[in-house]
Amino acid sequence: MQAPELLQELVVVFGVAVVVVLALSRLRLPTIAGLIAAGALIGPSGLGWVRDTWRLEALAELGVALLLFGIGLEFSLERLRRLWKVLTLGGGLQVVLTLVAVVTVATALGFSPRKGVFLGFLVALSSTAIVLRALGERQETDAPHGRLIVGALIFQDLCVVPMMLAIPLLAGQEVGAASIAWVLARAALLVVATLVLGRVAVPPLLKAVAGTRRRELFLLAVLGLGAGVAWLSSLAGLSLALGAFMAGVALADSDYGYQALADMLPLRETFASLFFISIGMLFDVRVVGEHPLLVAGLLVGVLVGKSVLGGVGALVMRFPPRVAVLAGVGLAQIGEFSFVLANAGLQVGLLSAQERDLFVCMSVLTMAATPVALSFAPRLAAGVAHLRPLEALFGAHGPHRLEPEHEELSQHFIVAGLGTAGRMVVRALRASNLPHVVIELDPHVVAEARRRGEVMYYGDITSPEILERAGIHRARALVLLISDPEGSQRAVSAARRLSPDVPILVKVPRLRDIGDLHERGASDIVAGEFETALEAVTRVLHAGGVAEEAMNALLAGLRHEGVPEHGPVSGPRRMLGTMGGLRRGTATTCSHLEQLRYDVLPRTSGCEACLALHLRWHNLRMCLTCGHVGCCDASFGRHAMKHFEATGHPLMRSFEPGEHWGWCYVDALEIDPRPPPPPPMEPAPPSLHVS
């Protein structure tokens, strides 16, 4: 490989990527589809600016590995544990249903059953890189359909190894049972070893590296760990990308996972863009010219078929039709690992060269269509009423199934969504003895919360029926804390139609959604980016000694002006009057109070991990078991929560001056960490005076 030629190709690729991303960002269109189209344009079958695509294949594979490494950093073992049921059932149903459907269609068309199974392997896999990138851009990874999609994608990636092992068997070759067992054992051993080392060896190693206070050394250590596990995974028969994902999961459980994610984010985004362009270069326009109807038929058949099968799998798991539609559309494309299987099938004679080229062309088109399909999926999901026969058939929870016990509540709060913000709001309402109804769309979250004794109800807050049964006409306020921007907009519209005067508070991750929510009737909007900026301004003004009245006036002006391109962030602040009764500091009891120790001393005066990495924090929390000091959830590192996830120590207290409240992570309850007052002293007996 000659360096000047590679550099020339990289200049072309990155130059085109900059132009495409800039143009599509201004048009507010999905960038992934544009990058794939750009790759097809400059590739061998397009303008031919890049002819030897093999030069970029290694870098593109590195891009996939970095992308999944970064995704793994966002998935701790605790989060994977919560996704386990969705991962196994959701992913298993999707793969099995797709295999059965493809084998049935293939045999009906005259293919052998063995080739039908192989074609089922190719179609069953979806694109982890493209879907997770698209969900991340839309900030829907933590939405119910996002969690279902992520679980299915992880399961599919784990299926690549047995699928690769089955290809020689499908081709009629002799493969020893011992060799298959050895490959599976190596893969299982690598997974277990990676997760164990992530718990035992990685934290002290990164602590020692962070102690040098050299960020370049920290980045090298993180990349070295990721590359090492990815290389070992390739030796064990797994893909580089899956190994990188496991390395990220192992790092995520340490106190340094968020800093690792921040340091490698630029590398991940750069090489991921290269991967999307390289996918587009695989597209051969001549195949479309020779077989236009066949390509179009396969494209429509795969997209529609996989969407339906993925949706049916979600319905079987008792997800509502709206989530089923969104999840089915998200899993409708062909995955990048299918190209690896297709090449393996070509080598053993399961595919001809013409069939492989046709499959690759159709697969690239499904990938390019995915971001566009995801943007239109909410409109398709709006017609969920037509899917109620399917809902009844599979026993799925529908939006009309909300229990009616609270129909007579009045002046209550309706809280939708039980994420981090939802749990905090519910805790405050419960501590303040304010009546409330909690609505959640994920049945597994509802079941888990009910096991903890929380009052939870299942339903889709975008449904007018749910709002009516929750008492929207008599409610004191509607609090929307769901991770679905489009769903929030529909919920605001439905609530405003049913109750024109009810105050509506909405949490949004994206500033660009503010205008639509105001138009639909939101009373107050909490935008994460904007509130963080205001908090930073507040702290700066406090440090500068600005008077309280002047600071409040300045903050009010900033809030009114809002962000230039989005306008005012907050609406007519009606929520301030309705929620003024919330108070903080009302302590409750939890099942872990027997572990509360009053003699624990802080190990440091600041967040241990942030001090080592030269990072700032918002507020500090101290573990009441070991004295570990970490930063709060509003801080970038979230090291107090990471410490709980790594150690299981349930109790902590605020380490801020003048604050005397504590928290139980397991029971999600506030506690009073102060020692009980001493018993009153008995009065001394009267003195006896002897005269």
**Average pLDDT along the chain:** 77
Place of tokens 């380490």: 655
| pLDDT value of residue 585 | 37
pLDDT of residue 73 exceeding 80: no
Q: What is the pTM of this model?
A: 0.62
* Mean pLDDT lowest among 13-17, 138-142, 381-385, 463-467: 381-385
| pLDDT value of residue 593 | 81
Q: How confident is the model at residue 651 (pLDDT cuts 50, 70, 90)?
A: very high
Q: How confident is the model at residue 240 (pLDDT cuts 50, 70, 90)?
A: confident
Q: How confident is the model at residue 395 (pLDDT cuts 50, 70, 90)?
A: low
pLDDT of residue 4 exceeding 80: no
Q: What is the pLDDT of residues 597-645, one digit of tens each?
A: 888 888 888 898 888 777 777 789 999 999 999 998 767 778 898 898 8
pLDDT of residue 158 exceeding 90: no
| pLDDT value of residue 55 | 63
| Phi-psi category of residue 348: left, alpha or beta, with phi > 0 → left and psi -120 to 50 → alpha | alpha
Strands of 342-420, DSSP E: 413-416
| pLDDT value of residue 394 | 54
Q: How confident is the model at residue 690 (pLDDT cuts 50, 70, 90)?
A: very low
| pLDDT value of residue 691 | 43
**Distance, CA of 248 to CA of 610 (rounded, Å):** 20
Contact status, residue 47 vs residue 38, Cβ threshold 8 Å = no
Q: How confident is the model at residue 399 (pLDDT cuts 50, 70, 90)?
A: very low
| Crossing angle (nearest 10°) for helices 353-381 and 321-330 | 150
| pLDDT value of residue 103 | 92
Q: What is the pLDDT of residues 315-364, one digit of tens each?
A: 888 787 888 888 899 999 898 788 878 888 888 888 888 888 888 888 88
Q: Which of 642, 691, 636 is nearest to 199 (CA)?
A: 642
3-state secondary structure of 352: coil
3-state secondary structure of 509: coil
439 forms bridges with which residues in the sheet? 416, 457
| pLDDT value of residue 584 | 35
* Mean pLDDT lowest among 136-140, 227-231, 273-277, 312-316: 136-140
Q: What is the pLDDT of residues 92-148, one digit of tens each?
A: 888 999 999 999 999 998 888 888 999 999 999 998 878 887 887 777 777 778 888
The CA-based diameter of the chain, rounded to the nearest angstrom, is: 126
| pLDDT value of residue 177 | 66
Place of tokens 């009302």: 586
| pLDDT value of residue 234 | 75
Q: Could you give phi then psi for residue 275, rounded to 5 degrees?
A: -65, -45
Q: Which of 115-129, 210-224, 312-326, 408-422 has the highest mean pLDDT?
A: 115-129
Q: Average pLDDT, stretch 370-399? A: 65
Q: Which of 396, 441, 395, 400 is nearest to 418 (CA)?
A: 441
| pLDDT value of residue 222 | 81
**Distance, CA of 141 to CA of 136 (rounded, Å):** 6
- Who's near 428: CB < 8 A, 6+ residues apart? 582, 583, 584
Q: How confident is the model at residue 579 (pLDDT cuts 50, 70, 90)?
A: very low
Q: Average pLDDT, stretch 272-277? A: 77
Two tokens at 145?
A: 């359909």
Contact status, residue 575 vs residue 477, Cβ threshold 8 Å = yes
| pLDDT value of residue 545 | 80
Distance of CA 121 to the CA centre of its chain: 26
Classify burial at 570, counting beta carbons within 10 Å of its beta carbon; exposed 0-12, middle 13-18, buried 19 or more.
buried
Domains defined for the chain, CATH in brackets: 60-389 (1.20.1530.20), 413-578 (3.40.50.720), 593-671 (3.30.40.10)
User: How would DSSP label each residue in 191-207?
Assistant: HHHHHHHHHHTHHHHHH
Q: Average pLDDT, stretch 645-654? A: 88
- Higher pLDDT, residue 102 or 392: 102
Contact status, residue 380 vs residue 321, Cβ threshold 8 Å = no
| pLDDT value of residue 303 | 93
**Which ranges of 171-291 would DSSP assign to H, the alpha helix?**
177-200, 202-211, 215-235, 240-252, 257-281, 285-290
Two tokens at 642?
A: 């990471």
- Who's near 577: CB < 8 A, 6+ residues apart? none
Within 10 angstroms of residue 257's Cβ, the number of other Cβ atoms is 30
